[in-house]
């Protein structure tokens, strides 16, 4: 066959302190997917850190920037956390991504590993649904200077310290004062992140096509402080007014310690992540399956 994607990069979930059995399982999964891709006529490369951590040889290794510059497709074997990390890094290059789920949830890695051959062959021939997911940029401003910046696909979260009480946060949107909030923290989530921490904190689900964010207080002192949906063209600023040991996290994968007077400024990224799904994929099917809707309800 002549696949649409000639050069495919494999990226795998790995942990530097993972058990021997976990590493072996990851290596076995990547080898199985690599052999299948080769049988379909694709040239396969491994992301550099993936290859080193699972100890797989026999394939060319590329760094993430090299994958962005050279590859036609990125194929992630793992869970949503793995996809979040690589999605942010490859967004600027426009490389499409397919997720094979070895994790627990799989909101954005939606092809089950146990049956990946049933979907992947058709997708390699160009039979897929493409969707774009938005990203947000965040910067921690201190004394008029950016001291930490990051990109997020899920959310930006300002949290209180582990042993401290509530934090007080001054929130502005597009330069307009919104409120001073006393809470355990505050979440700014994309539609992708609306099914993550924001959902567990009482926020609404946002369809991925909605050009918006949801701002969700975490355990607010004033129960009238409710989630609000904002346009993703907004400029959101969160200032630390009071509270000890506050921090900001970005997709729960990078962290910044905060001081009184720090401002976390959130804006829309100019980049987006390209996801490819099997034909027939539906966002609503994903919600129904992952959130266990209709359990115990008779369906026709």
- Catalogue the active-site residues: 80
C-alpha separations of 15 from 30, 50, 77, 96, 279 in Å: 15, 10, 13, 24, 32
**Residue the block writes with tokens 């080898």:** 31
Radius of gyration over alpha carbons of the chain, in Å?
A: 21
Give 103's contacts (C-beta < 8 A, 6+ positions apart): 13, 78, 79, 80, 81, 82, 109
C-alpha to C-alpha distance for 278 and 121, rounded to whole angstroms = 10
Helix (H, G, I), strand (E, B), or coil: what is residue 56? coil
Beta carbons of 191 and 266 less than 8 angstroms apart? no
Look at the chain and count its residues: 300
DSSP string, 15-54: -TT--HHHHHHHHHHHHHHHHHHHHTT-EEEEEHHHHHHH
Beta carbons of 75 and 10 less than 8 angstroms apart? yes
Q: Where are the alpha helices (DSSP H) in the chain?
A: 20-39, 48-54, 64-70, 80-90, 116-124, 197-200, 283-290
Q: How many CB atoms lie within 10 A of CB 184?
A: 18
Structure tokens that stand for 85 in this block: 């990390």
Question: Which element (helix H / strand E) includes 240?
Answer: strand 236-242
């Amino acid at each position: 066959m002549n696949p649409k994607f000639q050069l495919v990069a494999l990226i795998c979930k790995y942990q530097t302190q993972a058990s021997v059995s976990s590493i072996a399982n990851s290596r076995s999964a990547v080898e199985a997917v690599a052999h299948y891709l080769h049988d379909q006529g694709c040239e396969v490369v491994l992301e550099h850190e993936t290859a080193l951590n699972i100890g797989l040889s026999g394939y060319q290794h590329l760094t993430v920037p090299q994958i962005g510059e050279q590859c036609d497709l990125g194929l992630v074997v793992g869970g949503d956390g793995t996809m979040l990390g690589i999605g942010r890094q490859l967004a600027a290059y426009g490389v499409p991504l397919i997720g094979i789920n070895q994790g627990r949830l799989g909101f954005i890695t939606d092809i089950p590993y146990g049956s990946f051959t049933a979907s992947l062959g058709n997708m390699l021939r160009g039979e897929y649904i493409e969707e774009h997911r938005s990203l947000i940029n965040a910067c921690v401003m201190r004394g008029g200077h950016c001291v930490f910046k990051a990109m997020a696909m899920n959310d930006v979260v300002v949290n209180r310290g582990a042993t401290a009480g509530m934090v007080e946060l001054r929130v502005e949107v597009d330069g307009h004062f919104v409120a001073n909030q006393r809470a355990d923290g505050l979440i700014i989530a994309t539609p992708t992140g609306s099914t993550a921490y924001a959902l567990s904190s009482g926020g609404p689900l946002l369809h991925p096509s909605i050009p918006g964010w949801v701002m969700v207080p975490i355990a607010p002192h004033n129960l009238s402080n409710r989630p609000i949906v904002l346009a993703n063209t907004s400029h959101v600023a969160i200032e630390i007014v009071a509270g000890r040991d506050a921090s900001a996290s970005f997709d729960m994968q990078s962290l910044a310690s905060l001081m009184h007077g720090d401002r976390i400024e959130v804006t829309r990224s100019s980049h987006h992540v390209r996801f490819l799904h099997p034909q027939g994929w539906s966002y609503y099917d994903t919600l129904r399956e992952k959130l266990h809707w209709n359990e115990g309800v008779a369906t026709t």
